[in-house]
């Protein structure tokens, strides 16, 4: 199975996904910057939810057209057009359908047992990431690693993974709570 076929099996085979995640960020010297955890969900095409629970509640939600970035401590939500905000982020990678291989070149990065590792490099010059590594097990993501422009990395391990379940649409919408400041950059 070529890297493109492995990726296609994921893009076509996994229509919805729910999982818990734990995330560690390390800097370009390998020093741990922070760690966090939470839960995520996606539904193709374009719907995505990434909810940090620890150390602090933060939420990234998109319904495919608008993306909300909500920070509970800051009592602030910024809204941006999904297409612009999704460039090369897990949201784009996980929830887009056909545009994936248009925005990333895919290369084989080996495999460990049943887990297949792919390396995706953004084709455009202005991506926020140098590369994205995606570990797939039977077409389902179990780990992702984002290499940022300074050479640091955001390493995400998934657990309690459920694919192709029925997901409620409200999971991918965001109601602005009372008293929260809105920075609306979604109108062009």
Partner 1 sequence: CASVQPPSTGTGLEQVSRAWEQRRSQLGAQDGFELQGRLAAKGGGLSGSLRWQQAGSRFRLRLSGPFGAGALSLEGDEALVAIKGKDLDLVTAEPEVVLAARTGWRLPLAALRWWVLGLPAPDAEAQLQLDADGRPLGFRQLGWQLRFADWRPGTPSLPGRIEAQQDNWQALLLIENLSLGAPPALSAP
Contact call for residues 47 and 64 (beta carbons, < 8 A): yes
Q: Least Å distance between CB 152 and partner 1?
A: 6
Residue 27 beta carbon to partner 1: minimum distance, rounded to whole angstroms: 6
- Determine, following the binding rule CB under 8 A, whether residue 30 of this chain makes contact with partner 1: no
Question: In the bound complex, what is the minimum distance in angstroms from residue 60's beta carbon to partner 1?
Answer: 6
Which of 5, 45, 53, 56 binds partner 1 (CB under 8 A)? It is: 56
- Choose, by CB under 8 A, the member of 18, 62, 89, 95 that binds partner 1: 89
Smallest distance from the beta carbon of 182 to partner 1, in angstroms? 10
Residues 6+ apart with CB under 8 A from 140: 10, 14, 17, 161, 163
Q: Tell me the closest approach of the beta carbon of residue 36 to partner 1, in angstroms.
A: 9
Contacts of 115 (CB under 8 A, 6+ apart): 135, 136, 137, 142, 143
Residues 111, 84: Cα–Cα separation, whole Å: 33
At residue 176, what are phi and psi to the nearest 5 degrees? Answer: -70, 120
Residue closer to partner 1 (CB basis): 73 or 168: 73
- As given in the structure block, the two tokens for residue 65 are 């057209």
Residues in 118-177 that interact with partner 1 by CB under 8 A: 126, 128-129, 146-150, 152-154
Strands, DSSP E only, in the chain?
A: 16-26, 32-43, 47-54, 58-62, 66-71, 76-81, 104-112, 115-122, 129-137, 140-148, 153-163, 181-184
Q: Among residues 13 and 151, whose Cβ is nearest to partner 1?
A: 151
Would you count residue 24 as binding partner 1 (CB under 8 A)?
no
Give the pairing type, strands 58-62 and 47-54: antiparallel
Q: Which residues bind partner 1 (CB under 8 A)?
A: 25, 27-29, 31, 33-34, 50, 55-56, 60, 69, 71, 73-74, 76, 78, 89-90, 126, 128-129, 146-150, 152-154, 181, 183, 185
């Amino acid at each position: 199975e070529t890297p493109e076929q492995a990726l296609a099996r994921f893009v076509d085979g996994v229509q919805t996904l729910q999982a818990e995640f734990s995330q560690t960020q390390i800097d370009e010297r390998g020093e741990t910057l922070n760690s966090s955890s939470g839960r995520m969900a996606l539904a193709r095409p374009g719907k995505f939810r990434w909810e940090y629970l620890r150390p602090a509640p933060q939420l990234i939600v998109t319904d495919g057209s608008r993306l909300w970035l909500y920070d509970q401590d800051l009592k602030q939500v910024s809204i941006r057009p999904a297409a612009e905000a999704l460039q090369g982020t897990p949201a784009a990678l996980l929830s887009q359908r056909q545009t994936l291989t248009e925005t990333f070149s895919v290369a084989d990065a080996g495999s460990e047992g049943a887990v297949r590792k792919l390396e995706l490099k953004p084709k455009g010059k202005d991506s926020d990431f140098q590369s994205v590594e995606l570990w797939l097990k039977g077409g389902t993501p179990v780990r992702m690693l984002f290499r940022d422009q300074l050479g640091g990395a955001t390493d995400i391990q998934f657990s309690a993974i459920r694919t192709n379940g029925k997901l409620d649409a409200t999971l991918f919408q965001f109601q602005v709570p009372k008293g929260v400041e809105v920075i609306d950059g979604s109108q062009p």
